[in-house]
Chains A and B, each alone.
Chain A
Amino acid sequence: MITPTIITATTTTIRAIATDMLDILSEPFFRRAVIAGLGVALVAGPIGCFIVWRRMAYFGETLAHAGLLGAGLGLLFNVDIAVGAVVVAMILALILIALRRQKQLAVDTILGILSHTALALGVVVIGLVTGAVTGHLDILFGDVLTVSTRDVWVVWGVASVSLLLLATLWRHMIAISVHEDLARAEGINVQRTELLFTLLIAFVVAMSMKIVGLLLITALTVMPAAAARRIASTPETMALLSSAIAAVAVIAGLFMSAAWGTVAGPSIVLSAGLLFVLTLPLGQRS
């Protein structure tokens, strides 16, 4: 039985939670975290779609691990760790593109070797340079609650440029995702498009380092896209939905972190995973 008392009590609780949320939103550090997180979510959406369509999840993972090695080398040579991450991720991307042409080893074996070598080497380098890896868990899992105003600007700057580049590659990337040989036979420069897209992933990986961390960035791209795939009927709606789901995951994760004191990056990824599970009963649209 729903009595007026219960309703009043429920309303009071909801109001209390809402007030808490508004309170935390008035905190500048939290607002910076939300804005930076939304910047990442916006780009993660469409990038994740291509990662899902082209079965590049492991590839993205490898670039993220290369980013860790880059961050380590950045610490070693006293260069900004984000710059180090971009450079090493790009170099690895070029190596992978070159290695894909050989037929001695399967691509996922090569990825398995390079990805974990980069991860191990990254951890070793960071440990050697700083004495303890544990002080740098933020590189692995993000530390979005400590982003500075400058970080926010960097995230949105990189996000804007990435989205512009993505817009110019869009039609070609869709054609390549549908059928690579067909796209090539119909005059699309597959190599150039793929190279640019790979470099884009490298940038997004470095940009997201502080937000969700290198170990989880692939998850934040793949999970929303996989969820959106079940609902969307065109590539464009899938990309938009994907960004929206990533944005909801960012906000939910940050509030979860604020409410229960959980680590922010993993909380965001957990929220994304939960959203994916929620789309399961919806069934595949096409």
Chain B
Amino acid sequence: MLKVNNALVTAHDVSLKAGGRLILDRVNLAVRPGEIVTIIGPNGAGKSTLVKVLLGLVPQTSGKVEKQAGLRIGYVPQRFPIAMNVPLSVRRLMTLTLAANDAEITKALDETGVAHLVDAWVADLSGGELQRVLLARALLRRPQLLVLDEPVQAVDFHGEVKLYELISAIRKAHGCGILMVSHDLHMVMAESDHVVCLNSHVCCEGGPTAVQKDPEFAKLFGPAAARMIAAYTHHHDHDHESHSHEGHDHAHDHHGHHHHHPGHRH
């Protein structure tokens, strides 16, 4: 049982079963104010599901989620389909569920560098612009906890670096806790305070450097990926395609491994 006194949100032994499959297996996790916690893991590891359980969008089968009373959360979901959706301007998107004046809207958009898009149509935004608008939208709620599910998807590599820098700047400016999900291992490592390696259960966790050296981490992502991340911290040169491929293959291996040891816990 995890005991964290000043945590914004805490998961205690959270399990989720769906269709006879254990999606989440006794997960413990906590996010404190001013801390960036990143959940990493292969596709299908239950990362987004864990986030949804923490947000109260999906009920857990067992375990407990504790949130600080009156906690203000800003959420950027993993998928945001805009084709054939409601015709919306960015301004309107910002104020869908809360009232805000023009100055507040501009300030939030300015912080994520997209103030010039306030009158643009949401459907016209690029992937990176949309992520920044959604981030600004979350900031407008003056969140104590920011929950970002795959914040760099549909963003090119250069945009990815910029977005991670932005997230880091937001943490410094607002002092909010940030819970981030990623299947990208690269830059996550540089900005996170705490990394949780998830594959249904928490395989390993700790500071970025400690996690990289953990044998469970190498088992989950493969030694090549682990080496690549180490290399990344020195020079930002890497091959995105082959990397994500590798992560996936090894995730597959691990799944088989996990199957042989159903009682395996960490």
Q: Interface on A for B, CB 8 Å cutoff? A: 52-53, 103, 171, 174-175, 177-179, 181-188, 229, 232-235, 237-238, 284-286
Contact = CB atoms under 8 A, between A and B. Distances in A.
B97 A235 contact: no
A182 B124 CA distance: 20
Given A174-B96, A185-B75, A187-B97, A233 B86 contact: no
Contacts of B161: none
Interface in B73-115: 73, 75, 77, 80, 84-89, 92-93, 96-98
Contacts of A183: 96-97
Given A184-B57, A185-B73, A185-B75, A234 B92 contact: yes
A232 B77 contact: no
Contact of A286 (B18, B56, B73, B122): B122
A182 B77 contact: yes
Contacts of A53: 84-86
Contacts of A52: 84
A222 to B, nearest CB: 12
Contacts of B77: 179, 181-182, 185
B88 A234 contact: yes
Contacts of A284: 123
Given A174-B86, A179-B80, A186 B124 contact: no
Interface in B125-167: 141, 147
B88 A178 contact: yes
Contacts of B121: 233, 285-286
Contact of A178 (B55, B85, B141): B85
A147 to B, nearest CB: 34
B171 interface: no
B38 to A, nearest CB: 19
Nearest to B81: A179
Contacts of A238: 86-87
Given A103-B18, A178-B85, A185-B77, 13 more contacts: A103-B19, A175-B97, A179-B80, A181-B55, A182-B75, A182-B80, A186-B75, A186-B96, A233-B87, A233-B89, A234-B89, A235-B86, A286-B124
A177 B77 CA distance: 14
The DSSP consensus for interface residues of chain A is helix
B57 A186 contact: no
Contacts, number: 73
Nearest to A183: B97
B52 interface: yes
Given A233-B121, A286-B123, A178 B96 contact: yes
Interface residues of B, number: 27
A39 to B, nearest CB: 25
Interface string B1-42: 000000000000000001100000000000000000000000
Nearest to B141: A186
A183 B123 CA distance: 19
Given A53-B85, A53-B86, A185-B75, A178 B57 contact: no
Contacts of B87: 229, 232-235, 237-238, 285-286
Contacts of B85: 53, 177-178
B57 A181 contact: yes
Contacts of B86: 53, 174, 177-178, 235, 238
A181 B52 contact: yes
B123 A185 contact: no
B251 to A, nearest CB: 23
A233 B123 CA distance: 11
Nearest to A174: B86
9 contacts: A178-B85, A178-B93, A181-B75, A186-B75, A186-B141, A187-B97, A233-B87, A286-B87, A286-B121
Contacts of A177: 85-86
A269 B88 CA distance: 28
B177 to A, nearest CB: 16
Contacts of A186: 75, 96-98, 141
Contacts of A175: 96-97
Nearest to B122: A286
Contacts of A188: 97
Contacts of B96: 171, 174-175, 178, 183, 186
A31 to B, nearest CB: 35
Contacts of A237: 87
Nearest to B73: A185
Contacts of A179: 77, 80
Contacts of B52: 181
B22 to A, nearest CB: 15
